[in-house]
């Protein structure tokens, strides 16, 4: 589901030349087909997360996939640029559910010690869709036309809906605890409860039960009222320092990857490169090398580092996961500088390596930050992760929407140097406060979230 969403979100970037030609517009006018999709993926979190508390994660993921499917069909037959953008807005809203709920589902299923590895796998699917999507879309556009991008995604998505209905259970469960507890301490309690138990059920009865149930026992009653209360409980996380800092760390990596994707046609389609959409897709696809090289170390490194530091200190702290941020600090910004200084010398190989270095951060950074947030707010993981998703995509929307004009205004050399400096500054400026003040922030805001939750009267859950 995550791959499909990112394929849909990023794919058309390499086909801008065909959209410009078909709709007789400029590159800046077709850029919203990407930026508004990114925006809706983030805004959709505000709607979908409260719905999971009212109806359950399984139902929401199926419903959002059907909305996504409708948007793909609309995009196939769009006759104007505004109509195409409208379909992309609807599609982004549907895609937003899996990006908001996915990490929470992993939080339901995996113990704290395995969070980072699970999140790394989730991030890999995000990255493969985002980075290989333009490659696939470029060849599809060249050989079949850009409308076939949406047709092929619709075919994959239709199959995905069937597998979701038959293979995805409801994962929500209730676990009581006190404010300020970490996921590690809760998991110690949970392991005692489940040790020695190995429940199993034959596939057909399990499928029948999953499809036919109307209300899962761990999903709250209340319908619309629960949605309103959960929506209200969601809002304080938008000003939670842990959420804001984590969103900034992930958002700046994602934003620069999107900026490179959005401006790639403007950089490589004109002379001396004269890349076709297919060639541009091939070039963009090379960034996946950085993702695959980073993936084997991203999750395990964070988990091992957290476990070793916990053993050495005699107690677990979620902040131990953030020490791994030193790796993207040393890889991502230098990749931007390598990109620009080899590009101005007429090379496309150097920029491809630099792009791969930046894209490596798409697995390295969320493996640390998302698992850190889930570990810090185990009772409110969906709200916290959805807030990160929203803030991250707002950052990406703002930067990707202005990327082409920014490039035209300052030039490629200044643009990429600014991007590198901004990224270094944010990596330092957002990680260090969490390392020094994270325990105090967690305790303070956990109490605040609990008190706010009591005012609107939803029970505390880990979901």
91 pLDDT tier (thresholds 50, 70, 90): very high
Mean pLDDT highest for which of 113-122, 249-258, 289-298, 304-313?
A: 249-258
**Residue 361 scores a pLDDT above 60:** yes
pLDDT tens-digit readout, 256-285: 988 898 788 788 988 889 888 788 888 888
Q: What is the mean pLDDT of residues 158-173?
A: 86
The chain-wide mean pLDDT, for the chain, equals: 83
pLDDT tens-digit readout, 77-89: 999 999 999 999 9
182 pLDDT tier (thresholds 50, 70, 90): low
pLDDT for 151:
95
Q: What is the secondary structure of 313-348 as a DSSP string?
A: HTS--GGGGGGGGHHHHHHHHHHHHHHHHHHTTT-S
User: What are the angstrom distances between the C-alpha of 100 and each of 2, 43, 95, 385?
Assistant: 10, 10, 9, 6
For residue 461, tell me if it sits in a domain. no
C-alpha–C-alpha distance, residues 112 and 183, integer Å = 6
Please tell me the total number of residues recorded for the chain in this structure: 463
pLDDT for 211:
67
**CATH code, 100:** 1.20.1250.20
C-alpha–C-alpha distance, residues 71 and 45, integer Å = 18
pLDDT for 220:
64
186 pLDDT tier (thresholds 50, 70, 90): low
Which residue carries 């490169």 as its tokens?
Answer: 273
Best CA proximity match to 126, nearest among 108, 100, 89, 151 = 100
Q: What is the mean pLDDT of residues 327-345?
A: 95
Domain assignment of residue 242, given as a range:
2-456
For residue 462, tell me if it sits in a domain. no
C-alpha–C-alpha distance, residues 9 and 392, integer Å = 15
CA dihedral 208, 210, 215, 220 (to 10 degrees): 160
For residue 463, tell me if it sits in a domain. no
Q: Which two tokens stand for residue 232?
A: 């209200």
C-alpha–C-alpha distance, residues 452 and 460, integer Å = 11
pLDDT tens-digit readout, 379-438: 777 778 878 888 888 888 888 778 878 888 899 999 999 999 999 999 999 999 999 998
For residue 399, tell me if it sits in a domain. yes
pLDDT for 458:
47
pLDDT for 87:
95
pLDDT for 327:
92
**Residue 1 scores a pLDDT above 50:** yes
For residue 140, tell me if it sits in a domain. yes
Total number of domains constituting the chain: 1
pLDDT for 191:
63
**Residue 452 scores a pLDDT above 90:** no
pLDDT for 329:
95
C-alpha–C-alpha distance, residues 58 and 209, integer Å = 13
pLDDT for 461:
43
Q: What is the mean pLDDT of residues 286-308?
A: 81
- On the CB side of 410, how many CA atoms lie within 13 Å of its CA? 13
User: What are the angstrom distances between the C-alpha of 273 and each of 279, 283, 348, 350, 364?
Assistant: 10, 11, 8, 14, 31
pLDDT for 463:
39
pLDDT for 460:
43
Neighbour tally for 15: CB within 10 Å:
27
pLDDT tens-digit readout, 12-59: 877 888 888 889 888 778 878 888 898 898 888 888 888 887 788 888
Mean pLDDT highest for which of 239-248, 296-305, 373-382, 388-397?
A: 239-248
462 pLDDT tier (thresholds 50, 70, 90): very low
**Where does 283-420 show beta strands of DSSP type E?**
none
pLDDT for 316:
79
For residue 38, tell me if it sits in a domain. yes
């Amino acid at each position: 589901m995550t791959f499909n969403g990112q394929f849909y979100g990023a794919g058309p970037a390499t086909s801008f030349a065909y959209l410009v030609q078909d709709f007789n517009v400029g590159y800046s006018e077709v850029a919203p087909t990407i930026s508004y999709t990114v925006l809706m993926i983030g805004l959709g979190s505000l709607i979908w997360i409260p719905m999971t508390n009212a109806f359950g994660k399984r139902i929401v993921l199926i419903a959002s996939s059907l909305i996504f499917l409708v948007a793909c069909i609309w995009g196939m037959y769009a006759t104007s640029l505004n109509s195409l953008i409208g379909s992309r807005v609807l599609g982004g809203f549907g895609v937003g559910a899996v990006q908001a709920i996915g990490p929470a589902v992993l939080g339901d299923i995996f113990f704290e010690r395995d969070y980072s590895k699970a999140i790394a796998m989730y991030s890999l699917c995000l990255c493969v869709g985002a980075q290989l999507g333009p490659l696939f879309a470029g060849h599809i556009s060249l050989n079949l036309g850009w409308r076939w991008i949406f047709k092929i995604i619709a075919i994959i998505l239709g199959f995905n809906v069937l597998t979701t209905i038959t293979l995805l259970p409801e994962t929500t469960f209730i676990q009581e605890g006190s404010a300020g507890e970490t996921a590690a301490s809760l998991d110690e309690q949970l392991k005692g409860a489940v040790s020695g138990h190995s429940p199993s059920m034959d596939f057909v009865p399990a499928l029948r039960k999953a499809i036919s149930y109307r209300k899962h026992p761990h999903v709250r009653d209340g319908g619309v009222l629960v949605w309103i209360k959960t929506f209200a409980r969601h809002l304080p996380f938008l000003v939670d320092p842990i959420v804001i800092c984590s969103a900034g760390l992930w958002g700046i990596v994602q934003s620069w990857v999107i900026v490179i994707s959005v401006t790639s046609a403007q950089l490589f389609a004109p002379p001396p490169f004269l890349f076709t959409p297919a060639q541009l897709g091939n070039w963009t696809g090379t960034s996946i090398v950085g993702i695959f090289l980073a993936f084997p170390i991203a999750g395990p490194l964070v988990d091992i580092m957290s476990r070793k530091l916990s053993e050495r200190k005699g107690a677990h702290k979620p902040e131990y996961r953030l020490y791994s941020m030193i790796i993207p600090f040393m890889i991502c910004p230098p990749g931007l500088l390598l990109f620009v200084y080899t590009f101005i010398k007429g090379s496309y190989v150097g920029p491809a390596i630099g792009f791969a270095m930046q894209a490596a951060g798409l697995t390295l950074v969320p493996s640390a930050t998302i698992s850190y947030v889930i570990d810090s707010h185990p009772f409110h993981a969906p709200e916290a992760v959805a807030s990160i998703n929203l803030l991250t995509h707002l950052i990406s929307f703002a930067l990707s929407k202005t990327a082409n004009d920014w490039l035209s205004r300052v030039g490629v050399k200044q643009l990429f140097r600014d991007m590198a400096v901004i990224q270094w500054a944010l990596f330092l400026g957002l990680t260090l406060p969490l390392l020094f003040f994270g325990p105090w922030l967690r305790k303070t805001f956990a109490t605040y979230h609990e008190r706010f939750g009591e005012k609107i009267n939803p029970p505390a859950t880990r979901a």
